[in-house]
Structure 1
Amino acid sequence: MTASTSKQDKLIVGISIGDLNGIGSEIVLKTFEDSRMLEFCTPVIFASVKTMSFVKKALELDISLHGIDSLDALVHKKVNVLNIWKDLVEIDFGKEDKKAGEYAILSLKAAVAALKNDKVDVLVTAPINKSNIQSETFNFPGHTDYLAKELEGNSLMLMISDSLRVGLLTDHVAVKDISETITRELIEKKINIIHKTLIQDFGIPKPKIAVLGINPHNGDHGVIGTEDDTVLIPTLDNLRKNGKMVFGPYAADSFFGSGNYKNFDVVIAAYHDQGLIPFKTITFGSGVNYTAGLNKIRTSPDHGTAYDMAGKNEANFDSFKEAVFSAISIYKTREQYLEAAKDPLTKNRKKPALKKNR
């Protein structure tokens, strides 16, 4: 039984609050300050009602918060705040602080646990600071790696918007390690994840996938590197033989500027900045980070903690709102896919009529 059972299909959206000294709390509260959002979902913020009330007052936001100590006490049509801690937290907007990182992880762990146990339907995460979250009990580069450990499946960072989707072969990998990290096995694994994701989560039956080259100009036949010729191209050829509509590799420097990305359902970049710089340039403020390939749905805004504008009531919350809508949409599309994918013979088979004794 899922969290949304018996509530008119209104999904429960779990929200991890992120770094309290950043803009996370502001964009979460601003999103649900518009009461019309409660027609689409029931939010649960994993934090504390005292902490959220402090932010609400500091930013003079017009929003009612409903504090609960258990998810069983959740109330629909309200902005629920599940009390994960009882401390009176000292918030210092704009400051990178180890304590803020500790609260961010408390929130994240509680939200992920609720997601795993079907107490919430989807998870939307506010931005964290990848440095101050590190500890003996939490040693992950970010959300994606932690979710990959806690949930089932193979995770992949997929940036999505109305006009563009960008997936990555490698995400938080040092530049010096990229070429040796990209193997034939990795390329096949990532493209297979993307292919399945586009079908089941976005309703695209025959995805067209563009792949960018690893080196400048795809290596210029070995002049600037051999990885495209020896690793990438043979792998793409093999995927095409297996029926996938995979195109490329394309030289990354001209691919986006020419508008060629509009001809494909997704673009796969070799590494983080190759894909995210053009994505954020084209979509900034409306893009969403989706962790594809897992058995649960998680999205987040396409930006970080933005310490420079924290506490100033200046943060743009459009990306977070889009993350909420995307999570809901992906959940429903996947549910429809899984329902349609059930064995039609099993689904429609009628039990034989019992013969009456004569």
Structure 2
Amino acid sequence: MEERQKIKVGVSIGDLNGIGCEVVLKTFEDNRMLDFCTPVIFASNKTISFQKSELNLEINYHGVQEASKALAGKINVVNVWREIPNIKFGEATKEAGDFAIQSLKAAVKALKDGDIDVLVTAPINKSNIQADDFNFPGHTDFLAQELEGESLMFMITDGLKVGLLTDHIAVKDVAAAITPELIKSKVATIENSLKVDFGISKPKIAVLGINPHSGDNGIIGKEDDDTLKPTIKELSEEGHLVFGPYAADSFFGSDGYKNFDAILAAYHDQGLIPFKTLSFGNGVNYTAGLNKVRTSPDHGTAYEIAGKGKADHSSFKEAVFQAIEIFRKRAEYSELTANPLKKSRLKREFR
């Protein structure tokens, strides 16, 4: 693949009543973004025109009927629907949820068909997207069904990467859901992602405890002693650089995370609260483990500021750059592993 080949970045528009469209348009309002990629937004010309006018943004776009017709050097908008949505900024309406899903389904189909190279998803509302033909807690679960591989919610920045053993399940169900098989599967997914997507040859992974103080030797729950510790020991004996379990309350505050390439948290908030505290605005939600690349910003619909022009697009812009970089890393890894002689030569050259 040529070094400067333009990656086709597909964008699902998210909840039209939230800040999704705003952060998308603000990102591509900067024409320099077209030097890095060809944006393909799944919505409609009229929808984008309305948002552009309401938000007072200066942006030109090119309407197409399908993603395969997207033009390089243009901001392409695929006309997914003909209706004119009734946009009510700041409100969680069923109509907005329906359009968000139409956009997502069209974008995922284009991704599977090879009409776009990567997918960046704008935020959705997990409540108003539910329907008879869409019953998923969020993007990750839907993509896990539609694409190949074992999905993992992986929150990433250059200096911090946090994966989750369990993601969108109730806290009361976490301990029972964590099994040796799940731990091994998630560790394998993180290891492979760090190697293939980020070029880390021997990744070191820290695992956080399930209970406070990792159970305090069984005083505050036995799951860490009965499940986590023996599984981590087994993985270590097999040659994996996996360590823990570490008490979650002090792990991030003491900068312990800086000694590892990734952290595997037991449940959603245990991993995402410290991640967003340390990285908010620069973090990216990456769905690792699948055969296609999907990223998203680290924030939600932010109804409270929707339509006011106040949304910060930094995280969405970073999600675009991360998707492009991961796509290139995967292509590079595929090329090197397919040609072991070239790989050996490169190793000698960089010693």
TM range (shorter): over 0.9
CA deviation after TM superposition for structure 1 residue 347, in Å: 11
Q: What is the alpha-carbon distance in structure 2 between the residues aligned to residue 208 and residue 244 of structure 1?
A: 8
Given that residues 198 and 204 in structure 1 are in contact (C-alpha distance below 8 angstroms), is that contact kept between their aligned partners in structure 2? yes
Give the aligned partner of residue 327 of structure 1: 323
Give the aligned partner of residue 67 of structure 2: 71
Give the aligned partner of residue 231 of structure 1: 227
Per-residue CA distance 1:329-349 (angstroms, 9 max, x = gap): 00000110111111537999x
Q: What is the alpha-carbon distance in structure 2 between the residues aligned to residue 206 and residue 18 of structure 1?
A: 37
Given that residues 10 and 39 in structure 2 are in contact (C-alpha distance below 8 angstroms), is that contact kept between their aligned partners in structure 1? yes
1:246 aligns with 2:242: yes
Structure 2 SS opposite 1:341: helix
Amino acid at match of 1:227: E
Q: What is the alpha-carbon distance in structure 2 between the residues aligned to residue 257 and residue 332 of structure 1?
A: 33
Q: What is the alpha-carbon distance in structure 2 between the residues aligned to residue 239 and residue 19 of structure 1?
A: 42
Q: Which consecutive residues of structure 2, in runs of 5 or more, have no partner in the other structure? A: 345-351
Give the aligned partner of residue 254 of structure 2: 258
1:282 aligns with 2:278: yes
Given that residues 157 and 292 in structure 1 are in contact (C-alpha distance below 8 angstroms), is that contact kept between their aligned partners in structure 2? yes
Give the TM-score normalised by structure 1.
0.94
Q: What is the alpha-carbon distance in structure 2 between the residues aligned to residue 188 and residue 244 of structure 1?
A: 10
1:18 aligns with 2:14: yes
2:157 to 158, 161, 167: 161
The runs of at least 4 aligned residues of structure 1 exceeding 2 Å deviation read 5-8, 70-73, 343-348
Q: How many residues align?
A: 344
Give the aligned partner of residue 338 of structure 1: 334
Q: What is the alpha-carbon distance in structure 1 between the residues aligned to residue 213 and residue 342 of structure 2?
A: 52
1:29 aligns with 2:29: no
CA deviation after TM superposition for structure 1 residue 62, in Å: 0.7
Q: What is the alpha-carbon distance in structure 2 between the residues aligned to residue 330 and residue 6 of structure 1?
A: 15
Per-residue CA distance 1:106-134 (angstroms, 9 max, x = gap): 00000000000110000000000000000
> Could you say if the C-alpha distance between residues 7 and 200 of structure 1 is closer, same or farther in structure 2, counting changes exceeding 3 Å?
closer
- RMSD, aligned CA: 1.5
CA deviation after TM superposition for structure 1 residue 8, in Å: 5.4
CA deviation after TM superposition for structure 1 residue 7, in Å: 11
Give the aligned partner of residue 178 of structure 1: 174
2:117 to 114, 121, 129: 121
Q: Which consecutive residues of structure 1, in runs of 5 or more, have no partner in the other structure? A: 349-358
Given that residues 85 and 95 in structure 2 are in contact (C-alpha distance below 8 angstroms), is that contact kept between their aligned partners in structure 1? no
2:108 to 95, 105, 112: 112
> Could you say if the C-alpha distance between residues 173 and 336 of structure 1 is closer, same or farther in structure 2, counting changes exceeding 3 Å?
same
1:218 aligns with 2:218: no
Per-residue CA distance 1:57-90 (angstroms, 9 max, x = gap): 0011011011111223311111100000011111
Give the TM-score normalised by structure 2.
0.96
Structure 2 SS opposite 1:60: coil
> Could you say if the C-alpha distance between residues 58 and 169 of structure 1 is closer, same or farther in structure 2, counting changes exceeding 3 Å?
same
Give the aligned partner of residue 351 of structure 1: none
Q: What is the alpha-carbon distance in structure 2 between the residues aligned to residue 7 and residue 332 of structure 1?
A: 9
Q: Please identify the structure whose Cα radius of gyration is greater.
A: 1
Q: What is the alpha-carbon distance in structure 2 between the residues aligned to residue 8 and residue 23 of structure 1?
A: 31
Give the aligned partner of residue 83 of structure 1: 79
Amino acid at match of 2:237: K
Given that residues 53 and 65 in structure 1 are in contact (C-alpha distance below 8 angstroms), is that contact kept between their aligned partners in structure 2? no
Q: Percent identity?
A: 64
Give the aligned partner of residue 93 of structure 2: 97
Give the aligned partner of residue 349 of structure 2: none
Structure 2 SS opposite 1:205: coil
Q: What is the alpha-carbon distance in structure 1 between the residues aligned to residue 281 and residue 343 of structure 2?
A: 43
Structure 2 SS opposite 1:333: helix
